[in-house]
């Protein structure tokens, strides 16, 4: 619709555009509407007019003023992405550092309807493959864990780096009978929405099942008891509140 | 030129028809009503509020002496841009779950601060100009192009 409207508009205004491009600025001001029939070339024609008198702001001043305004807006909003400028982000929407455990949350545990499921005593992580097994949280945490600094990049336009500690996904994949070339699908407790995601290729080897975030037990809004985190993945695919992992 | 106009017009008309057809066949009535509301609101807001304010400001500005007018114009332009960005933030401030870390600031106070700084800067620049014009006779004339 927009493209169609623009094309139609250009079709109607083509004589004006042609006249405007041909006219010399000293001779004519195309923005001054004078009866079109005084000129065979165009609907708008001012003939020969003296250059406008500008006692106050001229064109350069307008550029400077608008540029300054845009500059102020950029400086006071860019802090939501460029962390060192966060302190002057007077008009910035997001303050990443004020999120729980230093990381903002898009989907809270309440809005994902996982509050009771994620805190249940009988929570288990189910891993399927050629040798399937099930882990309690204690069993999972007794496995080898590593710390990695991964960014969380949300498709809604923000990103923040954080220290994630957890169990390398590849360890569980191997125990289930797979290897680094396996296709892994993880499932969340979340009943609907983005409640599962797929890992293939190098991400299988790089991903963590995070139990800790910035040196604290990962909280409910960040995906307690365990969430997936891997580099080079949109935030929404770092599935939270995991319940099942399928290795194929 | 005639054939270009016809070609552009036909292409535009067809695309527009296609767009409208997709719109009315793929959106349900409720969404269409909301869309209609937004379109009408945009025109009403522009013609009923923004345009009168702009024209009124322009008329009022003509009464300001030329020497100070450009500083006032600049300050108003910068202030308007900042205000347009700040209004939706003020309207939605403190409405989101805390864990999203979003819209937590006091945007009203921040807007006041930025507008105050803009006004102060414009005043300072204007004062500087007045002072330079009052320099004792014999001093080289001041070029004011940089403003």
Mean pLDDT, residues A76-99: 87
A120-179 residues touching B, CB cutoff 8 A? none
Has residue A224 got a pLDDT over 60?
yes
- Residue B86 contacts A, CB cutoff 8 Å: yes
For residue A161, the model assigns a pLDDT of 87
- Residue B97 contacts A, CB cutoff 8 Å: yes
CB distance A209 to A169 below 8 Å:
yes
Rounded to whole angstroms, how far apart are CA atoms A98 and A25?
Answer: 55
What are φ and ψ of residue A175, in 5° steps? -65, -30
For residue B98, the model assigns a pLDDT of 85
| DSSP per-residue codes, A190-246 | -SSSS-EEEE-THHHHH-EEEEEETTEEPPGGGTTT-EEE-SSSBGGGS--SEEEEE
CB distance A147 to A229 below 8 Å:
no
Q: How far apart, in Å, are the Cα atoms of B81 and each of B69, B77, B127?
A: 18, 6, 24
pLDDT band with cut points at 50, 70 and 90 for residue A26: very low
pLDDT in tens, A32-60: 455 545 555 544 445 555 566 667 788 88
Structure tokens at A31: 């923005």
Residue A158: which H helix or E strand, with range?
Answer: strand A158-168
Q: What percent of chain A has pLDDT over 70?
A: 87
- Residue A111 contacts B, CB cutoff 8 Å: yes
Structure tokens at A120: 């249940």
What are φ and ψ of residue A243, in 5° steps? -130, -25
pLDDT in tens, B47-92: 999 999 999 999 999 899 888 899 999 999 999 999 999 999 999 9
pLDDT band with cut points at 50, 70 and 90 for residue B139: low
Of residues A119 and A31, the one with the higher pLDDT is A119
What's the distance, CA A64 to chain centroid?
Answer: 32
For residue A22, the model assigns a pLDDT of 72
pLDDT in tens, A96-149: 888 899 898 988 898 899 999 999 989 999 999 999 999 999 999 999 999 999
Mean pLDDT, residues A166-183: 94
Q: Do B15 and A1 touch (CB under 8 A)?
A: yes
Sign, CA torsion A224/A225/A231/A232: negative
Mean pLDDT, residues A212-223: 93
Decide if the complex's ipTM is over 0.95: no
Rounded to whole angstroms, how far apart are CA atoms B76 and B119?
Answer: 9
| DSSP per-residue codes, A81-99 | TSGGGGGG-TT-SB-GGGS
DSSP B50: I
- Residue B8 contacts A, CB cutoff 8 Å: yes
For residue B57, the chain A residues in CB contact (below 8 A) are none
Angle between helices B66-92 and B107-133 (to 10 degrees): 170
For residue A123, the model assigns a pLDDT of 94
For residue B140, the model assigns a pLDDT of 56
User: Cβ of A12: how many Cβ atoms within 10 Å?
Assistant: 14
Q: Do B12 and A94 touch (CB under 8 A)?
A: no
Determine which of A41, A61, A91 to mutate to test the interface with B (most B C-beta atoms within 10 Å). Answer: A91
Strand partners, A196: A187
Residue of B nearest to A101 (CA): B99
Q: Do A73 and B5 touch (CB under 8 A)?
A: no
How many contacts, defined by CB atoms under 8 Å, are there between A and B?
Answer: 140
């Amino acid at each position: 619709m927009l493209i169609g409207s623009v094309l139609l508009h250009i079709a109607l205004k083509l004589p004006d555009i042609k006249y405007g491009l041909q006219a010399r600025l000293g001779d004519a001001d195309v923005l001054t509407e004078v009866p079109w029939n005084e000129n065979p070339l165009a609907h708008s024609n001012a003939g020969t007019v003296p250059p406008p008198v500008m006692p106050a702001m001229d064109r350069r001043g307008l550029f400077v003023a608008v540029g300054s305004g845009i500059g102020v807006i950029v400086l006071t909003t860019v802090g939501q992405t460029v962390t060192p400028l966060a302190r002057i982000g007077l008009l910035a929407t997001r303050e990443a550092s004020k999120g729980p455990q230093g990381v903002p949350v898009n989907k809270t545990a309440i809005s994902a309807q996982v509050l009771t499921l994620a805190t249940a005593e009988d929570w288990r992580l189910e891993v399927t493959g050629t040798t399937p097994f099930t882990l309690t949280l204690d069993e999972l945490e007794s496995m080898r864990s590593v710390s990695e600094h991964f960014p969380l990049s949300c498709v809604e336009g923000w990103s923040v780096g954080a220290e994630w500690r957890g169990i390398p996904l590849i360890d569980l994949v191997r125990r289930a009978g797979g290897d680094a070339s396996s296709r892994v699908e993880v499932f969340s407790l979340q009943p609907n929405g983005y409640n599962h995601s797929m890992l293939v290729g190098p991400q299988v080897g790089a991903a963590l099942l995070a139990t800790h975030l910035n040196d604290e037990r990962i909280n409910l809004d960040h995906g307690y008891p365990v969430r997936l985190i891997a580099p080079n993945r949109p935030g929404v695919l770092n599935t939270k509140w995991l319940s099942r992992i399928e290795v194929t | 030129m005639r054939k270009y106009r016809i070609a552009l017009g036909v292409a535009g008309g067809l695309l527009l028809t296609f767009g409208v057809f997709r719109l009315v066949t793929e959106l349900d009535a409720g969404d269409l009503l909301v869309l209609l509301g937004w379109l009408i609101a945009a025109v009403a807001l522009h013609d009923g509020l923004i345009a009168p304010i702009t024209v009124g400001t322009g008329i009022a500005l003509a009464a300001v002496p030329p020497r100070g007018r450009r500083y006032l114009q600049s300050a108003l332009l910068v202030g308007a841009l900042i205000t347009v960005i700040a209004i939706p933030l003020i309207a939605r401030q403190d409405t989101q779950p805390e864990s999203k870390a979003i819209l937590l600031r006091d945007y009203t106070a921040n807007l006041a601060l930025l507008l105050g700084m803009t006004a102060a800067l414009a005043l300072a620049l204007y004062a500087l100009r007045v002072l330079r014009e009052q320099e004792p006779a014999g001093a080289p004339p001041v070029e004011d192009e940089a403003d």
